[in-house]
Amino acid sequence: HATRRFIAIDLGASSGRVALGTLEGGKLQVEILHRFPNGGVPVRGQLYWDILGLWREVLHGLKLASRHGEIASVGVNSWAVDYGLLDGRGDLLGQVHHYRSPRLSGVMERVRAQLSDERIYDATGIQFLPFNTLYQLAAEAPEHLVRAQTMLMVPDLLHFWLCGVAVTERTNASSTQFFNPQTGTWAAELLNALEIPTGILPRIVEAGSVLGELLPEVSRETGLGGVQVIMPATHDTASAVAAVPAEGTGWAYVSSGTWSLVGIETPQPVITPRTRAENLTNEAGVGVDGQGATTRLLKNVMGLWIIQQCNEGWGLEYGELYAQAQAVEGGPLIDPDDARFSPPGADMPVRVQTYCRETGQAVPQTPAEITRCVLDSLAHRTAQILDVLEDVSGQPISTVHIVGGGSQIGVLNQLIADASGKTVVAGPVEATLMGNLLIQAGASLPEARQIVRDSCDLRTFLPRQSAPHAVESR
Ligand code: ADP
Ligand code: LRH
């Protein structure tokens, strides 16, 4: 086997990284060359992404990569739903809004009332979340929509800056809630009904598509020459799911980071009154051996966001915080998906405490106790969703693969095993990078998963019978 090298850029809501992947002898080695923080920037009561700051970090990472010899290609993935609007000259119109920006308050409710849940869900199969791109476009300033020529999702915007090609990729297109997974095309009728111009929608391409070479100005800036830009699954969760080290059937995944995405892979979308009532999402997954797309049937859980926001104030090292949380007694539970936990804010610990007080439970006091409460609650919620997924699909789940930054949290892995009664396999931490790299390398889904299994150390957590939630949540 020849050695091949690729660069993956993974922009998460809490941090970004530029990594070099080396594929040799059926193993993928990942070296993170550059890591940088990410988060919302509050301005005049709204929340934005610092997209130019992220671009500067990307350029810096590429510069570091240029010292590593011959590189075949580069690809970008990021969190879903957010986008930039371009004018006729290709310039960014305004800022890139953060999906947690207060501008979206009440918009989803208005659009749902206008179009009806059945119409939206039947066309898209996507979970109703207040920040889906559908509602963001409905909240756009009309003068921007009039001037806009193209809407590009965040990874597509960076690809456009890297190689000048303005297209979108199917997995992230599906996160907008105006993509039809049955037809593989934009659900333009939903936008028409809201008088949003559909001429701004770019062409949809498949993960693995070659976009073209880096632009000369990017090569000059970074020292990287002769490098192709290849679409990974640009939705981070889709790249992560492509790198879940699973085999056979009977498995689920949790992509655990800022969000916790709890789901299964299905050969087709599952769009039924039941999945609508359960508010399950049918995001597009990558294809199997050119045999068409898989579906990520999953549900968003608030995830480690709550702890991230608490820790902005505490300033503790994560490994230390989670070790302390493991040592304290659990007890109170919150509903992590309660809307009060969604906005950023230094009062996040107080919100957790208030929830516990309102529901007549013991009130956690210390960072360790608050963290423990959130972890117990995430485990509990994960187990509930796994039950729903088993029920909806009729397929029993025996193993839960946890990937992403949260897979490092041993106590959470164990709590999920206990609450669900299922075997948990944790790792890899950098599943998103691995999926991104392997899609660029042209690996099929089974090949990618085999390579991940052969390249990573995984940890197994068996359910403990005596665990407090084991009986209750099954
Ligand atoms: P995202 O892609 O959404 O930005 P990540 O997948 O990078 O998120 O995961 C970030 C999370 O990983 C953090 O919120 C934290 O809870 C967890 N984490 C980070 N470092 C550690 C560590 N050393 N030990 C345990 N957990 C960690
Ligand atoms: C995870 C993620 C998730 C989306 C959310 C906006 O990073 O992409 O899949 O729902 O961000």
Q: Are 235 and 12 in contact (CB under 8 A)?
A: no
* Mutual angle of helices 367-393 and 410-420, in 10-degree steps: 40
Residue nearest to atom 19 of ligand 1 (CA): 405
DSSP state of 339: G
The encoded tokens of residue 71 equal 């590189």
Annotated catalytic residue, options 236, 347, 418, 454: 236
| Whole-angstrom distance, CA of residue 248 vs CA of residue 104 | 41
- How far CA 268 is from CA of 288, 295, 296, in Å, comes to 12, 6, 9
Residue 50: per-residue pLDDT: 98
Sign of CA dihedral 452, 255, 83, 151: positive
Backbone angles phi, psi at 418, to 5 degrees: -65, -45
Q: What residues have CB less than 8 Å from 294, skipping those under 6 apart?
A: 265, 266, 267, 284, 285, 286, 287, 288, 445
Among residues 43, 187, 171, the alpha carbon closest in space to that of 122 is found at 187
- Does the beta carbon of 257 lie inside 6 Å of ligand 1? yes
Among residues 271, 270, 266, 264, the alpha carbon closest in space to that of 288 is found at 266
DSSP state of 176: G
Cα 261 off chain centre by: 7
Residue nearest to atom 18 of ligand 1 (CA): 405
Among residues 375, 386, 426, the alpha carbon closest in space to that of 405 is found at 426
Residue 467: per-residue pLDDT: 52
Q: 40-43 and 46-49 as β-strands: parallel, antiparallel, unpaired? A: antiparallel
Residues contacting ligand 2 via CB (< 6 Å): 12-13, 79-81, 99, 235-237, 257-259, 261, 300
Most ligand 1 atoms within 8 A of CB, residue of 321, 408, 432 to mutate: 408
Among residues 200, 201, 190, 197, the alpha carbon closest in space to that of 114 is found at 190
- Does the beta carbon of 413 lie inside 6 Å of ligand 1? no
Q: Is 454 among the residues known to form the active site? A: no
| Whole-angstrom distance, CA of residue 74 vs CA of residue 231 | 8
Residue 471: per-residue pLDDT: 40
**For residue 74, how far is its CA from the centre of ligand 2 (angstroms)?**
21
Among the atoms of ligand 2, which is closest to the Cα of residue 255? 1
Residue 212: per-residue pLDDT: 98
**For residue 16, how far is its CA from the centre of ligand 2 (angstroms)?**
14
Residue 469: per-residue pLDDT: 47
The encoded tokens of residue 194 equal 């809201």
- Does the beta carbon of 198 lie inside 6 Å of ligand 1? no
Q: Are 297 and 264 in contact (CB under 8 A)?
A: yes
CB neighbours (10 Å) of residue 59? 17
Q: What is the dihedral of CA 351, 364, 41, 38, to 10 degrees?
A: -140
- How far CA 460 is from CA of 179, 197, 348, 392, 427, in Å, comes to 37, 50, 32, 26, 9
- Does the beta carbon of 16 lie inside 6 Å of ligand 1? no
**ipTM higher than 0.90?**
yes
Cα 453 off chain centre by: 21
**For residue 241, how far is its CA from the centre of ligand 2 (angstroms)?**
12
User: Residue 91 forms beta bridges with which residues?
Assistant: none
| Whole-angstrom distance, CA of residue 9 vs CA of residue 162 | 12
Backbone angles phi, psi at 161, to 5 degrees: -70, -30
Most ligand 1 atoms within 8 A of CB, residue of 409, 411, 436, 459 to mutate: 409
| Whole-angstrom distance, CA of residue 83 vs CA of residue 106 | 20
Counting other chains too, the contacts that 144-148 makes at CB distance below 8 Å and 24 or more residues apart are 144/85, 144/93, 144/94, 145/85, 145/196, 145/197, 145/200, 146/197, 147/85, 147/87, 147/93, 148/85, 148/86, 148/87, 148/93, 148/197, 148/200
**For residue 205, how far is its CA from the centre of ligand 1 (angstroms)?**
30
- pLDDT digit string (tens) for 194-215? 999 999 999 999 999 999 999 9
Among residues 177, 167, 229, the alpha carbon closest in space to that of 204 is found at 167
**For residue 257, how far is its CA from the centre of ligand 1 (angstroms)?**
6
The encoded tokens of residue 128 equal 């109703």
Task: Measure the CA angle with vertex 220, ends 216 and 221; round to 5°.
Answer: 120
Residue nearest to atom 8 of ligand 2 (CA): 79
- pLDDT digit string (tens) for 394-425? 999 999 999 999 999 999 999 999 999 999 99
Residue nearest to atom 7 of ligand 2 (CA): 79
User: Residue 29 forms beta bridges with which residues?
Assistant: 22
- Does the beta carbon of 409 lie inside 6 Å of ligand 1? yes
Residue 474: per-residue pLDDT: 30
Q: Does pTM top 0.95 for this prediction?
A: yes
The DSSP-derived string for 177-246 is T-EETTTTEE-HHHHHHTT--GGGPPPEE-TT-EEEEPPHHHHHHH---S-EEE---SBHHHHHHHT---
- How far CA 380 is from CA of 134, 333, 411, 468, in Å, comes to 30, 8, 13, 11
- Which stretch of DSSP H or E encloses residue 303? none
Most ligand 1 atoms within 8 A of CB, residue of 18, 236, 318 to mutate: 318
Residue 170: per-residue pLDDT: 96
Residue nearest to atom 2 of ligand 2 (CA): 79
Q: Are 288 and 294 in contact (CB under 8 A)?
A: yes
Q: What is the mean pLDDT of each run of 10 residues along the chain (474 residues)?
A: 93 98 97 98 98 98 96 98 98 97 98 98 98 98 94 98 98 98 96 97 97 98 96 98 97 98 96 98 84 89 98 98 97 97 97 98 98 98 98 97 98 98 98 98 96 98 71 36
**For residue 159, how far is its CA from the centre of ligand 2 (angstroms)?**
19
